Amino acid sequence: MLKPIKNNQQYEDALAHAYLLMQKDIKPDSKESDELEVLSLLIKEYENEHFPVPKPNPIEAIRFRLDQMNMSEVDLSKILGYRSRKSEILSGKRKLSLTMIRKLHEVLHIPAEVLIQAY
């Protein structure tokens, strides 16, 4: 029976068990697939609580996403509307406005909560 993960040893055991389940040829909607799904949720919850991943800096997130999408800084200028704004934003001289955040979220699909952070 699955139980909440309360310490590091239980976490390590849960990871090992999940790994073993993933090595099997599990059929969808089987007892083992349900077990793996619930175990994954327990592991994720423990990791979120004990090993949180900080949100990236908004400027780093923009640069990373441009790279992922094979876009250039020229493309960013088109998104923001002005070439000078792009330079000021990337250099940290200008902060993102609400309008810029909305456009970046819409076009680059960067979560708004990342873009609205102080930096």
pLDDT at position 6 is: 96
Q: What is the pLDDT of residues 13-44, one digit of tens each?
A: 999 999 999 999 999 999 999 999 999 999 99
Cβ atoms 100, 80 nearer than 8 A: yes
CB 54 within 8 A of CB 48: no
When pLDDT is cut at 50, 70 and 90, the band that residue 85 belongs to is confident
Average pLDDT, the chain: 94
* CATH class belonging to 58-115: mainly alpha
Domain boundaries, the chain: 8-50, 58-115
**How high is the pLDDT of residue 82?**
76
Q: Encode pLDDT of 99-110 as tens digits.
A: 999 999 999 999
- Full-prediction pTM beyond 0.95? no
Full 3-state SS string of the chain: CCCCCCCHHHHHHHHHHHHHHHHCCCCCCCHHHHHHHHHHHHHHHHHHHHCCCCCCCHHHHHHHHHHHCCCCHHHHHHHHCCHHHHHHHHHCCCCCCHHHHHHHHHHHCCCHHHHCCCC
Q: Give the pLDDT confidence of 54-84 residue by residue, as tens digits.
A: 999 999 999 999 999 999 999 999 998 877 7
Burial state string for 80-95 with b = 16 or more CB within 10 A and e = fewer than 16:
beeeebbeebeeeeee
